[in-house]
Amino acid sequence: MLMFAVIVASSGLLLMIERGILAEMKPLPLHPPNREDAVWRGTVPRPGRLSLDAGDSDLQVRQDVRNRTLRAVCGQPGMPRDPWDLPVGQRRTLLRHILVSDRYRFLYCYVPKVACSNWKRVLKVLAGVLDNVDVRLKMDHRSDLVFLADLRPDEIRYRLQHYFKFLFVREPLERLLSAYRNKFGEIREYQQRYGVEIVKRYRAGAGPSPAGDDVTFPEFLRYLADEDPERMNEHWMPVYHLCQPCAVRYDFVGSYERLEADANQVLEWVRAPPHVRFPARQAWYRPASPESLHYHLCSAPRALLQDVLPKYILDFSLFAYPLPNVTREACHQ
């Protein structure tokens, strides 16, 4: 009950912002390209009527838990039911994170640090821009992709109503650790744009010109504790704000923890051609693991975690992730 009360209270804060609502517009009939010449490998589910393989009981249980939780939280009075219920800034963020495939009639809300680069690669293959998912090139995260924000309101409404909609999620703090390791350990642009400011703000005796390439995880957490979730960089913005699962009724929520199986299931549902598969994780890639997360969390001040967790409480609750155990007993095991 306490956890549910926290969820409802956190949700209520989002509703205390002035809403920007566009005029209602009747959607025009749209006609995506004919797909009869494609080779199907499954039956596409109707939006809102997802049917799972009876043999995959684990998938069924997880989806049932997530669906029940989403309905419980999103059914609270005042929660958004539609993107046009959202304030303008929140709606803009949402529409800029939903990718469109008209040929295969699906919408994908991308979440950074949850294999979104590979999903963008898949979309480019499905659009005929890339020959296959193994083509080696630096990912351009904008070109040859269609975002819901690029379309007119009537076109947006039509696709939200008629297309298959999905997103992928990840344990919230593991996603933060992955973003921290990647952006502050490897990307000079992030070290200069965010790292320098974080060191200046939170490190005593940092000096006037820090390099920003040695930000510690606790310093990163202190930065997050002071940030407004709605204004965060997309790589550590809560999934709730990126994809608005109350305003958009997603047909499937996949997880990073069983990425390949869930991704290939989605490809079957959207009737992707048989040769299109989700890219395998490269051998050199070492993702943030539960063990490394446990180490970093146990090394951080407990009071700091108490300040950061409320910003991600909806991600934990809506997607059925347990809160981290950072008791003395757990950290000394």
| DSSP per-residue codes, 196-255 | HHHHHHHSTT--SS--SS---HHHHHHHHHHS-GGGS-TTTS-HHHHH-TTTS--SEEEE
- Predicted pLDDT at 66: 81
Interatomic CA distance for residues 240 and 250, integer angstroms: 12
Pick 77 or 244 by higher pLDDT: 244
Domain boundaries, the chain: 173-235+287-317
Whose CA is closest to 245, among 35, 41, 118, 94? 94
Report residue 37's pLDDT band, with 50, 70 and 90 as the boundaries.
Answer: very low
On whether the CB atoms of residues 295 and 213 are closer than 8 A, the answer is no
Q: What's the pLDDT tens digit per position in 106-161?
A: 999 999 999 999 999 999 999 998 888 777 766 666 778 999 999 999 999 999 99
Report residue 50's pLDDT band, with 50, 70 and 90 as the boundaries.
Answer: low
- Predicted pLDDT at 217: 96
- Predicted pLDDT at 56: 66
The answer to whether residue 42 scores a pLDDT higher than 50 is: no
What is the chain's length?
Answer: 333
Sheet of 98-101, strand order: 98-101, 106-109, 164-169, 252-255
Structure tokens at 172: 């919230």
Q: What's the pLDDT tens digit per position in 300-321?
A: 999 999 999 999 999 998 998 9
